[in-house]
A and B are shown apart, each in its own frame.
Chain A
């Protein structure tokens, strides 16, 4: 699906990844992607984020005067570490920014065994 349109290259969205006490937060910038176009998939250890731009608000006939932006698709794959609780991942998309919260697993406490 991503390779169907050669005129709209697939780009890496820029991301910020930072860690807090209980979770790792990943923020991906995907300007121009509507909420429906942002997707998140987990397969094994791989977290894949994709975004499809759909700028349909443009009129049919126009002349570009300056073009720095491009119609584009985003795709990026991250490998998750074992300490991430995959079943508790939350994602939020707003204003071109996809925020993914990856909760860290509790460290297993050493279990004390009484010596008899």
Chain B
């Protein structure tokens, strides 16, 4: 399900990028057409059916004019435009942006696990909310015992991990599964804490299959900033 969501997001982003590029090219084309007409009043004035011949000759003359007037109007495929805007470069940028998005999406699972690779951990859904004086983190962990949930802070990174043991696996060897939609095994989520989160005030509680972790905010986090004189 999660992979699907990312794929849909990726497709939507690419679609928007494509539309934006098309719109931009179309705009440039129109702008060129306008400028062309104003630069060659004779050609536009002769643009009626009875005078096809002079119009054609004007068209044939246009490429030559383009090289001499390159500074005044832009052909989307001429070098002057490609110097400042490269559609392939823009595609590259989008690609990089998306790679970053997949990589940094809340540090899902161990490093290097992309959406094409299967993680050995399953990743419960997570919410983070900020109030005036606290942060609240919530995770869906239905059917996981309190004793099997670990919450840890190390180097200011909050990690919630544990194991959801499937009792069925051991006790009911003979039994057949009709449906298996739940995730089980090891789970892990981790992410860096905000600067003003007070890790000493952490309070974790599991209720109705939802783990809630609360932190207070450090009131004057900004004032702890030190300025260092340059010598």
What residues make up the interface of A, taking CB atoms closer than 8 Å to B?
Answer: 14-21, 24, 27, 29-35, 55, 57-59, 61-69, 94-97
Of B140, B143, B168, B208, the contact of A69 (CB 8 Å cutoff)? B140
> Which of B132, B181, B208, B210: most chain A CB closer than 10 A?
B208
| Cβ-defined contact, B175 with A62, below 8 A | no
| Cβ-defined contact, A69 with B138, below 8 A | yes
CB distance from A19 to the nearest CB of B (A): 5
Q: When A31-B209, A33-B208, A95-B145 are in contact, do A18 and B125 touch as well, CB less than 8 Å?
A: no
Q: When A29-B142, A32-B140 are in contact, do A62 and B127 touch as well, CB less than 8 Å?
A: no
What residues make up the interface of B, taking CB atoms closer than 8 Å to A?
Answer: 106, 125-132, 135-136, 138, 140-145, 168, 172, 174-182, 206, 208-210, 212
Closest chain B residue, CB of each to CB of A64: B129
Give me 18 other A-B pairs in contact (C-beta within 8 A), A15-B181, A16-B180 excluded.
Answer: A15-B182, A16-B182, A18-B178, A29-B143, A32-B140, A32-B209, A33-B208, A62-B136, A64-B129, A66-B106, A66-B128, A67-B127, A69-B127, A94-B143, A96-B140, A96-B143, A96-B210, A97-B142
Provide the bound-state CA to CA distance between A106 and B143, in Å. Answer: 31
CB distance from B58 to the nearest CB of A (A): 60
Which residues from chain B contact A15 at a C-beta distance below 8 Å?
A: 179, 181-182
Q: When A34-B208, A95-B144, A95-B208 are in contact, do A20 and B175 touch as well, CB less than 8 Å?
A: yes
> Which of B125, B136, B142: most chain A CB closer than 10 A?
B142
**A-B residue pairs, 7 tightest by C-beta:** A96-B209, A96-B142, A97-B143, A14-B181, A31-B140, A17-B178, A29-B142
| Cβ-defined contact, A32 with B130, below 8 A | no
| Cβ-defined contact, B145 with A16, below 8 A | no
| Cβ-defined contact, A63 with B172, below 8 A | no
Closest chain A residue, CB of each to CB of B184: A16
